[in-house]
């Protein structure tokens, strides 16, 4: 009987291998068989072990395009096609790293249509959290090109970064995508590290029991299903067809989508909104897009009695197609609020766009509104991938034989509620992942949380940014300061091309010798008081410090926060002039210490300074 050959999914057709390094190339066949690998002029031989595992060490190879690999045993032969050598990057973190190109198409309307480069490739690691042991191989997947429909599901940050890099050096780029939306850092750490930090939860042993997960999942599924069923049954608007154009809403109250609502309309339950639009004559018959921004939480949206779209959770923008605009449009929105403080985001655009023209839905007429039901707040859904160690075991550990050029990380939103040990855990994660990839000098670039107000991002983002910055104490790390790149009213800012450029610049700076913790913008290092003056000293990485108008810092005194705004620039220091006799030694001074700060200090290229909290000495 012939012995089959199994090649891991990561090494199959279209794979990208790291250039200029000795790569592992492994697989499985019959016990103790000779295996031959040949490509180009290279022929390698090895022998499988008693379990059938074999592993070749490939010689270093410069960048290349399509190569076929032939693997054979005494009675079997397979050919792997279109293998290339280039630079491999790991994309890690949560939803802002994961956010895919399809979600960015309004901001970057031509990118997907114009993308033709098959030298940018990616592999999405399946989301398979495991707890009993560290997985040795990924369980499925394939290499895809960043083109067409396949590009739609690729990380926007990853794509723009790869596109910029390829344009600069013409080297193929392979992206390994591991980011998981909503994932906390504990999911990406090993059991050993969490135990060492005394952070392994008491219930961890239970996680290794598959019955435990099945029980929790079934209980949660039953709860969520029953909740939704009862929610739907109790909506009088569904029963009475409030979406219909001819429904009489004369006695309904009036609100505006771009202004705050009373608490009555923000509590959990079903809210209906209706509006009638007279379409300008020259636009009748056109196709259009209805853009309603974001909502908390779910919606069903109707135009002239027909459902045009609906989304089940709060984050995606509501952008729905309307075919063949009629003279009069009746828009009805069924807003399903599952948590406290629901509603439609005031600061987003609410428009109909067609043929370069816009119909504003935030006019003086407002919208008719009526509550259709009250309902208790829904419990959060159970996700096993948010449990400690699961993502490390199932998604990172299987990558240990790969060789890569760098790791790019965007995460922290899910840990901001419990930030106190994040810096310690994050530093341990960087060290552990470098061990996984057998390189203590592996560049690790991370994005510090951007500006976002508390309603959309939760609290403690200032403290979280400070915890993230602690990782710069490790060599070969880089931090992207994203203040000014966020959106106050959105957890998922869409300007991912800007972030990707900053990540890539950090990566290049580390490769060019800035190995001692590089920051994309100025970073305050110390604050000294000399007489009646404070001097804040910055590391500017060869650039010049710049101040914008109305710069201020804050200091805590006698339980009060006081602004210090008598500021001037002296080289790469900021001088703060104090009132006579004011002694602040030992006090904490802060800059941009809030969820949603503005850019006040930059370097001469416009890059924002990192927020900080420092003790005055």
CATH code, 573: 2.60.40
Q: Which pLDDT tens digit goes with each residue over 405-462?
A: 999 999 999 999 999 999 999 999 999 999 999 999 999 999 999 999 999 999 999 9
Q: Which of 374, 404, 426 is the last residue of a domain?
A: 374
Comparing 186-195, 205-214, 391-400, the range with the smallest average pLDDT is 205-214
Task: Quickly state the pLDDT bin for 579 (edges 50, 70, 90).
Answer: confident
Long-range contacts of 214-221 (CB under 8 A, 24+ apart): 216/382, 216/384, 217/382, 217/384, 219/382, 220/381, 220/382
For residue 546, what are the domain limits? 523-615
Q: Is the predicted pLDDT of residue 524 greater than 80, yes or no?
A: yes
Residue 174 within any structural domain of the chain: no
- The answer to whether position 544 is within a domain reads yes
CA distances from 511 to 252, 506, 549 (A): 63, 9, 35
Cβ distance 57 to 13 under 8 Å? no
- Quote the number of domains for the chain: 2
In-domain check, residue 326: yes
* The last residue of a domain, from among 325, 348, 374: 374
- pLDDT tops 60 at residue 120: yes
pLDDT surpasses 50 at 101: yes
In a domain, 510, yes or no: no
**Any domain includes 313:** yes
Q: What is the pTM of this model?
A: 0.96
Q: Helix, strand or coil for residue 38?
A: strand
| Residues present in the chain in total | 617
SS3 category, 455: helix
Q: Is there a domain that residue 605 lies in?
A: yes
What's the CA gap between 78 and 76, in Å, rounded?
7
In the chain, pLDDT over 70 holds for what percent of residues? 100
Provide the mean pLDDT of the chain. 96
pLDDT range class, residue 323, cuts 50, 70, 90: very high
Residue 8: burial class (beta carbons within 10 Å; 0-12, 13-18, 19+)? middle
Sign of CA dihedral 252, 254, 258, 260: negative
| Structure confidence at residue 556 (pLDDT) | 85
- pLDDT tens sequence across 8-40: 999 999 999 999 999 999 999 999 999 999 999
Average of per-residue pLDDT across 590-601:
96
Q: Read off the pLDDT band of 612 (50, 70, 90).
A: very high
pLDDT digits 0-9 by tens, 546-560: 998 889 999 988 778
Boundary-marking domain end, from 374, 405, 423: 374
Confidence band for 1, pLDDT divided at 50, 70 and 90:
very low
Q: How confident is the model at residue 2 (pLDDT cuts 50, 70, 90)?
A: low
CATH for 339: 2.60.120.260
- Averaged pLDDT, 44-54: 97
Residue 355 has pLDDT above 90, yes or no: no
In a domain, 490, yes or no: no
Domain assignment present for residue 433? The answer is no
Q: How much is the pLDDT for 312?
A: 96
**Could you tell me the end-to-end alpha-carbon distance of the chain, in angstroms, rounded to an integer?**
77
Average pLDDT over residues 112-125: 97
């Amino acid at each position: 009987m012939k012995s089959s050959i199994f090649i891991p999914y990561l090494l199959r057709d279209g794979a990208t291998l790291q250039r200029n390094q000795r790569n592992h190339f492994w697989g499985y066949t019959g016990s103790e068989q000779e295996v031959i690998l040949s490509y180009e002029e290279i022929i390698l031989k090895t022998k499988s072990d008693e379990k059938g595992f074999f592993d070749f060490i490939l010689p270093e190879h410069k960048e290349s395009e399509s190569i076929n690999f032939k693997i054979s045993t005494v009675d079997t032969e397979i050919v792997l096609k279109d293998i290339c050598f280039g630079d491999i990057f790991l994309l890690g973190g949560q939803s802002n790293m994961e956010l895919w190109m399809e979600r960015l198409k309004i901001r970057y309307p031509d990118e997907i249509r114009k993308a033709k480069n098959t030298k940018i490739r990616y592999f999405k690691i399946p989301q398979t959290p495991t707890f009993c042991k560290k997985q040795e191989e990924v369980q499925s997947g394939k290499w895809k090109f960043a083109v067409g429909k396949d590009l739609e599901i690729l990380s926007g940050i990853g794509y723009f970064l790869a596109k910029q890099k390829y344009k600069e050096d013409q080297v193929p780029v392979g992206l390994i995508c591991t980011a998981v939306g909503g994932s906390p850092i504990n999911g990406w750490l090993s059991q050993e590290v969490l135990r060492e930090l005394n952070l392994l939860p008491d219930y961890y042993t239970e996680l290794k029991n598959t019955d435990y997960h099945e029980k929790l999942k079934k209980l949660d599924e039953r709860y969520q299903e029953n909740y939704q069923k009862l929610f739907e049954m109790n909506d009088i608007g569904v029963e009475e067809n409030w979406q219909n154009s001819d429904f009489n809403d004369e006695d309904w109250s009036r609100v505006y989508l771009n202004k705050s609502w009373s608490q009555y309309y923000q509590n959990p339950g079903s809210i209906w909104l209706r509006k009638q639009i007279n379409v300008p004559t020259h636009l009748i018959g056109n196709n259009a897009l209805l853009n309603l921004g974001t909502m908390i939480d779910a919606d069903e949206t109707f135009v002239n009695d027909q459902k045009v779209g609906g989304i089940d959770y709060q984050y995606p923008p509501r952008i729905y197609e309307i075919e063949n605009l009629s003279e009069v449009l009746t828009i009805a929105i069924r807003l399903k609020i599952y948590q406290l403080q629901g509603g439609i985001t005031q600061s987003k655009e609410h428009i109909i766009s067609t043929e370069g023209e816009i119909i504003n839905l935030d006019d003086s007429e407002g919208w008719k509104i009526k509550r259709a039901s009250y309902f208790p707040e829904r419990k959060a859904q159970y996700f096993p991938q948010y449990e400690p160690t699961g993502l490390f075991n199932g998604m990172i550990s299987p990558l240990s034989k790969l060789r890569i050029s760098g790791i790019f990380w965007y995460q922290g939103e899910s840990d901001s509620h419990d930030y106190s040990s994040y810096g310690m855990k994050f530093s341990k994660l960087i060290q552990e992942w470098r061990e996984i990839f057998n390189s203590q000098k592996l560049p690790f670039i991370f994005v510090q949380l951007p500006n976002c107000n508390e309603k959309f991002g939760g609290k403690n983002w200032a403290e979280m940014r400070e915890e993230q910055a602690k990782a710069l104490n490790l060599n070969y790390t880089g931090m992207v300061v994203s203040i000014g790149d966020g959106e106050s009213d959105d957890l998922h800012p869409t300007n991912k091309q800007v972030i990707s450029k900053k990540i890539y610049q950090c990566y290049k700076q580390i490769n060019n010798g800035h190995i001692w913790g590089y920051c994309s913008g100025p970073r305050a290092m110390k604050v000294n008081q000399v007489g009646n003056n404070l001097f804040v000293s910055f590391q500017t990485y060869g650039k010049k410090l710049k101040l914008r108008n109305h710069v201020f810092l804050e200091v805590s005194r006698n339980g009060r926060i006081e602004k210090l705004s008598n500021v001037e620039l002296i080289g790469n220091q900021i001088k703060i002039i104090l009132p006579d006799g004011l002694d602040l030694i030992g006090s904490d001074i802060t800059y941009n210490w809030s969820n949603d700060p503005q850019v006040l200090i930059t370097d001469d290229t416009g890059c924002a300074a990192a927020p900080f909290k420092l003790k005055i000495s």
